[in-house]
Amino acid sequence: MKLTFSLATPAEAPALAALYTAASADLTERYGAGFWSHVATEKGVLNSLRYARVILARKGKTIVGTMRLANKKPWAIDVTYFTPVKKAIYLTGMAVLPKLQRQGIGRMLLQKAVEEARAWAADAIRLDAFDADGGAGAFYARCGFREVAHVVYKKDPLIYFEFVLSQDNRIGNAFDLPRKAIPGGTAVAHSSTVDLSVFCTVNLWKWRD
């Protein structure tokens, strides 16, 4: 699958809200009502653009995945559990369009997160996932993130993960994907073998309108 990546703008807020809501509805259908059950709003998406770099993954003109990257710690994260570093980037709000799941989009988003973190001169990527059947913990473990703790924050069971950046760290097979730059600061990734997807519940609903 060929994807292009770019930064979200306020004009994409309706499409992003629809993507988050669709991903939430898919999890609710599969696992029942849970922490992931939520209807996203344009107002909430616009608020996230104020404090995070929101990355879009497109297949053609269609937004098929997204994630948020920020250097400000989300309130659900307790840094005492993580490897001490000078600068960490926090990954939240990752989602993949349900009908295109299990096609490698999640891995390619994580690869993009690593690229962005290195461009920010960060030392690590940190995140949390719901500690439940509908969470994405197993996905992160397969992609090379290290589980550092199980915690409960305001009744939400969470698993903390980190990816400490070094020349040898890899996101599963993602770094084996051939890449090339294209105009406009985006990138193209080609994948014919990766068959894992994810709706990442990391802090997705931990911000409100």
Q: How far apart are CA 93 and CA 202, in angstroms?
A: 6
Mean pLDDT of 56-82: 94
Mean pLDDT of 98-105: 89
184 or 133: which leads in pLDDT = 133
Identify the structural domains of the chain with CATH numbers, from first to last.
2-190 (3.40.630.30)
Does residue 157 surpass a pLDDT of 80?
Answer: yes
- Kindly report the average pLDDT of the chain as a whole number: 81
pLDDT tens digit sequence for 37-63: 788 999 999 999 999 999 999 999 999
- Position 143 scores a pLDDT of 92
Does residue 26 surpass a pLDDT of 50?
Answer: yes
SS3 of 32-64: the string is: CCCCCCCCCCHHHHHHHHHHCEEEEEEECCEEE
Kindly indicate the confidence band of residue 185, based on its pLDDT and cuts at 50, 70 and 90: very low
Which run of H or E residues covers position 92? Answer: strand 88-96
- Position 172 scores a pLDDT of 60
**Over pLDDT 70: what percentage of the chain?**
79
189 or 83: which leads in pLDDT = 83
**Terminal CA-to-CA distance of the chain, rounded, Å?**
34
Q: In what side-by-side order are the strands of the sheet with 156-164? A: 146-153, 156-164, 124-130, 88-96, 62-70, 53-59, 2-7, 186-190, 179-182
Kindly indicate the confidence band of residue 167, based on its pLDDT and cuts at 50, 70 and 90: low
